[in-house]
Amino acid sequence: MRIQDQVIALAPALHNFFPHAQFVVTDCAGYVYSIPGQNFFLEVFDAGHLFLDGSIGKETVQTGVVVARSGNKALTGGVPYQGIGVPLTEDGRVVGAMCIFADTITKETLQQTASQMTAMTEELSAMTDTFAQGAHVVRSATEVLVKRAQAIESERMQTMQMTGVIGDVAAQTHLLGLNAAIEAARAGESGKGFSVVAEEIRKLSERARTSTRLIETSMNHLIAEITSMNREIESMLEQVQRQSSSASELAEAVTELTKISEGLTELSMHLRA
């Protein structure tokens, strides 16, 4: 997002601190955004107008420094005003300015605004640091969850392998029990004892097969839980990434607010003189 767009997005909130003043955003050629002040509006600084020689906006863009002074009445049809221009920079170059224009009887109000803006900037800066720290903590916790999910998946695979072995043993035991029962029947009376053993073997086989099915059912439930947890983790990671991006954007906004606050403070000092 361009720096002008960021300032314009913040403009209504910023203007609440000095509703008496006209708030303007410029590019390098003229005015692109304007909010009228209460009972104060200079059309020459309205959006769509180009810079005039001697204007605070043009001087700010050309010099790249904060300009705070009384305005040139010749540009406004003799209407006296005072203003401040704060340069807006991107990649080390000036791309526009943020300007505040007010009548000449609002010195005290602008001085108070400078103090309020400074306090607000400091508070926003602290909030940005806290936000970034919170995002880091969430990211670390999410990474731990990912590792735990991977460990559970590994254990599940080992359990499934063991279940397969138990199933094979159960099948072979069942077959052995059937063969034993057949041989006991052939032996007649003398094979009755062996027949009892064969029956117990078949029962053991059946219990093993039942246990295998129960384990498989439990594993299927575990698979479903792991899948659900993975989806939640992915969602958390996406949220953390969005938070990190928001923290970066908020930090940029705080930086720009700091410049604005410094400009207002400088204007306040000029007005006290």
Residue 148 Cα to chain centre, angstroms: 24
Asked whether residue 122 is assigned to any structural domain, the reply reads: no
Same domain, 18 and 58: yes
**Which residue in this structure is represented by tokens 């700010």?**
60
**pLDDT score, position 58:** 94
Same domain, 99 and 141: no
Per-residue pLDDT of the chain (273 residues; tens, 9 = 90+): 578 888 888 888 888 877 888 999 999 999 999 999 988 888 999 999 999 999 999 999 999 998 888 888 888 888 888 888 889 988 889 999 999 988 875 555 555 655 665 566 566 556 666 666 666 666 676 676 667 767 766 766 766 666 666 666 666 666 666 666 666 666 666 555 666 666 666 676 677 667 667 777 776 777 777 677 767 767 766 766 666 665 666 566 666 666 666 666 665 555 444
Q: Two tokens at 7?
A: 């300032």
Q: Two tokens at 256?
A: 């720009």
User: What predicted TM-score, i.e. pTM, was given to this entire model?
Assistant: 0.44
Asked whether residue 18 is assigned to any structural domain, the reply reads: yes
Same domain, 74 and 8: yes
Same domain, 145 and 234: yes
Same domain, 142 and 186: yes
Same domain, 144 and 77: no
**pLDDT score, position 26:** 95
Domain region containing 76: 3-105
Same domain, 140 and 32: no
Q: Two tokens at 89?
A: 């920079």
Cα separation of 42 and 82, whole Å?
12
Using alpha carbons only, give the angle 169, 171, 175 rounded to the nearest 5 degrees: 115
Asked whether residue 184 is assigned to any structural domain, the reply reads: yes
Angle formed by the axes of helices 3-15 and 192-272, nearest 10°: 70
**pLDDT score, position 271:** 47
| Dihedral sign, Cα of residue 19, residue 21, residue 22, residue 25 | negative
Q: What is the DSSP letter of 22?
A: E
Asked whether residue 273 is assigned to any structural domain, the reply reads: no
Tell me phi and psi for residue 50, to 5 degrees: -85, 160
- Domain of 101: which CATH number? 3.30.450.20
Asked whether residue 213 is assigned to any structural domain, the reply reads: yes
| Whether the Cβ atoms of residue 38 and residue 56 lie closer than 8 Å to each other | no
Asked whether residue 13 is assigned to any structural domain, the reply reads: yes
| Whether the Cβ atoms of residue 27 and residue 95 lie closer than 8 Å to each other | yes
Same domain, 100 and 144: no
Cα separation of 193 and 185, whole Å?
11
Asked whether residue 183 is assigned to any structural domain, the reply reads: yes
Same domain, 97 and 141: no
- Domain of 212: which CATH number? 1.10.287.950
Asked whether residue 123 is assigned to any structural domain, the reply reads: no
Same domain, 85 and 141: no
Element (H, E) at 99: strand 93-102
Same domain, 157 and 206: yes
Q: What is the DSSP letter of 103?
A: -
How many folded domains does the chain comprise?
2
**Which residue in this structure is represented by tokens 């928001």?**
246
Q: How many CB atoms lie within 10 A of CB 49?
A: 18
Same domain, 138 and 235: yes
CA atoms within 13 Å, Cβ hemisphere of 211:
17
**pLDDT score, position 184:** 61
